[in-house]
Structure 1
Amino acid sequence: MINRQALSRFYLTLVPFLAAGVALGLGHSKPQLYIPIWLAHAALMAFAVWSLGKNCFTNPDPEQRQLGIIALLVIIPWVGFTLFAGMGPPPTSIPDWVNTATEQQIRYALLIAGGMLITVGLTLLANKLRLSNEQPYWLLGVLALGIALPLFILNMAYWGSFLDESFTHFSAASLAKRPDWYLSMRALFNWISGVEVALLYLATAAFGLALQSASWFKSRACRIYAFFSLVGALLSVLPSFSFEPLVIATYLVSIPAFPFIMPYLMALNLLNLANRTPNRSS
């Protein structure tokens, strides 16, 4: 007999990695093709989340339901993020960017909304961890998030609004050389992006240590969360090198949705943990 909860968790765990593989491997597809596929995936993802956390969502204990809500706040943005699998990576040429301007605006609007939801979810999680009297790693996580979120919103607005307007203007004016102000802004946001991404990874590492301190998750899982988050933070602030594997790794960890992969996996683990308490009303 198939274990529906185990199958749901397996599918949900694969979601960010499959989406990234499709986006990077296949590139941009036509909306007429990827939107129906995404809608089917979104429905399947909702079914999998319900299967994984049904006991938690319907539990009469408000503490258990709150854990489910926290997990949902972090998981739900990934329903939107998987739309990027059909969009592919951001265009590398101005004509392609102008031709897909609406898609780019949707991409970065979803990232802003998702980043805000995840921050709310992790902040609520920090409050639960505070009440469990664990070591104050949660405070470091909240502080890092508090600094990172405004930078993240600013950075996504730069990509979703400023670049759209700039590239549309450059294309209409047929400018062969970029203005000095554009080059200065690009350099500024390279710095902002590095700081913002590093802080998001550091916040995740802090929450991983907090969950370990509170003994909510197994130590091995928490160490994995913290290790990969710290590696991501380091790679995001490294200067440019000619060593190709390092360049690729630095590029990957700086993809806007990638710092949210570890919080998403934590949320799945949290939902599974909260779901273990049986619903006495059933």
Structure 2
Amino acid sequence: MTNRQVLSRLYLTLVPFLAAAIALGLGHSKPQLYLPIWLANVALMAIAIWVMGKNCFTNPDPDQRQLGSIALLVITPWIGFTVFAGMGPPPTSIPEWVNTASEQQIRYALLIAGGILITAGLTLLANKLRQSGEKQYWLLGVLALGIALPLFIANMAYWGSFLGESFTNFSAASIAKRPDWYLSVRALFSWISGVEVALLYLATAAFGLALQAASWFKSKACRFYVLFSLVGSLLSVLPSSSFEPIVIATYLVSIPAFPFIMPYLMALNLLNLANRIPSKSR
């Protein structure tokens, strides 16, 4: 890799973690402040992606270009996700939610679109792994994604549409006590969220094992993907606990964009592999 490619990969690797740290550390900012910064990051990410993948994207070999397209499908949603750094975490009170209703709709619309693109990219990756002779784990990954995606879309629609409309109506009607139907729906989507997040992590673990079995990536990297994903899956379904570190960890792994961090890192690795050692990725 050239120095520009090394710097580009380093920047792209840090992006999800920096965005999460800013969002959790600083909270909500004014759009006039965070949108220009986000646009600057969009430009930097686009440049870094081109520097990393130029040889792959423009290669006359269709197999190599397909690997570049797969990586691009998984990486691109994070260009949109980084705007959450300025939006901060979802509001914790009804007035804050009502006041930022448009931002919340944008947040969850981006997550739905990103989830669909990432699922498409991983499904194409599964097909490449099948063609390479990997016969077990890619199928488990596709099955888990096939179940998780509809649940993910429903969960994001609940947060982006149902909650916003409900809170607006509650505020307008000055309802002090939440209706029974609202509490029932909230409990239902708490279960849906846990299952959906666990399946996304399990799908990532399956792809990590498939990439290792196909010898596309180093075993150390694959073990990291698998271990992190399995821990995330376990934490996402743990019952409520008074043990503060577990509560915090469960909250973090369940943040909607977080299950897509490992696929994003896989895609960066895949793009790097496609540039360096195309013969191993066919």
- Report the TM-score range of the alignment, normalised by the length of the smaller protein: over 0.9
Q: What value does the CA root-mean-square deviation take over the aligned residues?
A: 0.8
**What residue identity is the alignment partner of 1:253?**
V
- Show the counterpart of 1:177: 177
Deviation, 1:275, is 1.1
Alignment of 1:1-282 (within 5 A): 3-276=3-276
What whole-Å deviation, never above 9, does each CA across 1:53-75 have from its counterpart, x for those lacking one? 11101110000000000000000
Contact 1:208 1:226 (8 Å CA) reproduced: yes
**What residue identity is the alignment partner of 1:146?**
G
Contact 1:55 1:276 (8 Å CA) reproduced: no
Q: Quick one: distance in 1 between partners of 2:65 and 2:10? A: 22
Contact 1:148 1:199 (8 Å CA) reproduced: yes
SS at the partner of 2:223? helix
What whole-Å deviation, never above 9, does each CA across 1:98-123 have from its counterpart, x for those lacking one? 00000000000000000000000000
Q: Quick one: distance in 2 between partners of 1:161 and 1:83? A: 19
Deviation, 1:47, is 0.2
Q: Quick one: distance in 2 between partners of 1:61 and 1:131? A: 16
Deviation, 1:136, is 1.3
Deviation, 1:277, is 5.0
Identity of aligned residues (%): 86
List structure 1 runs of 4+ shifted beyond 2 angstroms.
none
Q: Quick one: distance in 1 between partners of 2:173 and 2:135? A: 57
Q: Quick one: distance in 1 between partners of 2:269 and 2:230? A: 20
SS at the partner of 1:10? helix
SS at the partner of 1:89? coil
Q: Quick one: distance in 2 between partners of 1:267 and 1:23? A: 23
SS at the partner of 1:6? helix
Q: Quick one: distance in 2 between partners of 1:134 and 1:23? A: 39
Contact 1:55 1:277 (8 Å CA) reproduced: no
**What residue identity is the alignment partner of 2:241?**
F
Deviation, 1:135, is 3.4
The alignment of Structure 1 onto Structure 2 pairs a total of residues equal to 277
Q: Quick one: distance in 1 between partners of 2:245 and 2:74? A: 30
Q: Quick one: distance in 1 between partners of 2:20 and 2:118? A: 19
**What residue identity is the alignment partner of 1:155?**
N
What whole-Å deviation, never above 9, does each CA across 1:188-215 have from its counterpart, x for those lacking one? 0000000000000000000000000000
TM-score (norm 1): 0.97
TM-score (norm 2): 0.97
